[in-house]
Amino acid sequence: MKNFIVALVLLTSAYSINAQFEGSSFTSTGRGGATTFATDYQAVGINPANLGWEYKFDGKKVALGFSEMTYSIHSEALSKEELRQSIRDMISGNDEEFTYDQKIEAAQDFANKGIAFNADLGSIGFAYMNETIGGIGFRINDRIQFYSILGEQASDLFFKGRTSSYFDILTYVDTTGLMNDTTLIANHGNLDPDSAMNVISGQASVPLRFSELFEGSQISMSWTREYNLSYGRKLIGLDSTFMLYGGVGVKFVQGMAMLDLESDGTNLTAFSATSPAFGIDYGDAANTNPSAITQSNGGFLPQPVGRGWGFDLGFNAVIKNKLKVGVAVTNIGSVNWDGNVYTAKDTLVYDTESAGLDSYNVLNQVGRLVGDQGLFEWNGLASKRVKLPTTFRAGASLRFNEKIEIGCDLLLPTNTVPGSLEGALFGLGADITPIPWLNLSGGFVTGGNYDFQIPIGITLIAKNGSYEVGVASRDAITFFAQNGPTLSMSMGFMRFRF
């Protein structure tokens, strides 16, 4: 099950990270905007007011789609080839363990450098549009996000574990004698790989609190599944001059995993709730946790450990059938996490027996970070309510003719929770349809959890919009850059209209 989770996270899913500007809509991924571009069920979760638009393909009233997926990973620490290899290893489960020298290198590489991962899977989408009643849309969407940035001390602890420079005293197994006796040695930071293998624990003679050790560090992860029902229609206006549309969406949200670790040097935030499918062992803390779930339900998908409701609200104006201006607020609401809920104390860190992370496959080693093997001292909670990553979005687009439309988007996070954007995101993009069966898209995006990106996409259209298939990438730069890359892919092969 754990390998299935990793494969799903990497191939279909995002550290999002709810925080992607177009979700799993492959027709929008290759463009720097979606607020005034997304149509039919692909507008669900972006701007529900767009459901009130008439379809541009004559005679089409229904849109239906299956298995649309988008993912992207950005790392400031890894090269493109290292990132690709880590993905292959995660999927296959054959990732090789670090040598001690590689642990040291990884600790240095990841210090003060971020890694962001977002993934969306739209398993099914449906929309119906009627000029009299408006448009209705329904979509099931999985959203997975991971984001981390580690301070120098935190990176050293996570990767080197018990041999971290923080621990000035090491418990060492002396293999030169017959009894393999243990002894205490000073940690001078120059252990050779063979000696490091004989260290079984590290102790700090001057211990610090978690909040001090993890100053400037953040790790956040979320996996939610949404069942979103949305409605949009024209409110006022004449087709030839000005039309105002409004829309609303309501969604039932299931939570599969939530992790929120952050410290500013004084205060520590540490909260975790994960499905049993992740296989995290919380040790003795589980025995007294009122929300502990130790057995998986045995289903194909992870057992939910949180539930809640959310809402979307949007408006757009169409002026002379050329200029569109839209605003929306999405993910208003919260999730009540009531399974495997834990919070960590801001206690002194005296020692650890953890060997640290063995590879870049962090997802497969979550237990080493937050489980009984890790550094944190967890307390169980009955439940914890966490707000959804609410986002304000505004966009505009201008349609020059039937073949060219350009537009821009601005996304602003309104709260700071796992899955939120790290900052404002701005995008500029265009759709070009040189011939009726081909749509090309491109643009640029900057901000959010990523560096500057150049999205590109191609969509093939058959039988007056009856069938669409397409692929896109959030960043064409990744095909050329070797360092600080973004690996991204979006695809959809089953999008129909009738």
pLDDT-derived band at 476, boundaries 50, 70, 90: confident
Got the DSSP string for 300-358? SSPPP-EEEEEEEEEEEEEETTTEEEEEEEEEEEEEEE-SSEEEE---EEEEE------
Q: What is the pLDDT of residues 1-14, one digit of tens each?
A: 444 344 344 433 33
Q: Is 88 left (phi over 0), alpha (psi -120 to 50) or beta?
A: alpha
- Give the residue-averaged pLDDT of 481-488: 66
Residue 367 has pLDDT above 90, yes or no: no
Q: What is the pLDDT of residues 279-310, one digit of tens each?
A: 888 888 889 999 998 766 666 678 899 999 99
Q: What domains lie within the chain, and their CATH numbers? A: 2-497 (2.40.160)
Q: Strand 268-274 vs strand 306-319: parallel, antiparallel, or unpaired? A: unpaired
Distance (Å, whole) CA 184 – CA 207: 17
* More confidently predicted of 251 and 222: 251
Residue 396 has pLDDT above 60, yes or no: yes
- Give the residue-averaged pLDDT of 72-82: 76
Residue 19 has pLDDT above 60, yes or no: no
Q: Residue 150 gets which letter from DSSP?
A: B
Coil/strand/helix, residue 194 = helix
Contact by Cβ (8 Å): 498, 126: no
Q: Kindly list the distances between the CA atom of residue 312 and the CA atoms of 25, 47, 222, in Å, as whole numbers in the listed order.
A: 17, 8, 19
* More confidently predicted of 247 and 147: 247
Residue 55 has pLDDT above 70, yes or no: yes
**pLDDT score of 94:** 64
**pLDDT score of 9:** 42
Q: Residue 204 gets which letter from DSSP?
A: E
Task: Indicate the length of the chain as a whole number.
Answer: 498
Handedness of CA 30, 36, 37, 40 (dihedral sign): positive
Contact by Cβ (8 Å): 87, 75: no
* More confidently predicted of 84 and 265: 265
Residue 456 has pLDDT above 60, yes or no: yes
* More confidently predicted of 4 and 128: 128
Q: Strand 114-130 vs strand 62-75: parallel, antiparallel, or unpaired? A: antiparallel
Q: Kindly list the distances between the CA atom of residue 194 and the CA atoms of 108, 260, 453, in Å, as whole numbers in the listed order.
A: 21, 36, 44
pTM (2 d.p.):
0.85
What are the respective helix, strand and coil percentages of the chain, to the nearest 5? 20, 50, 35
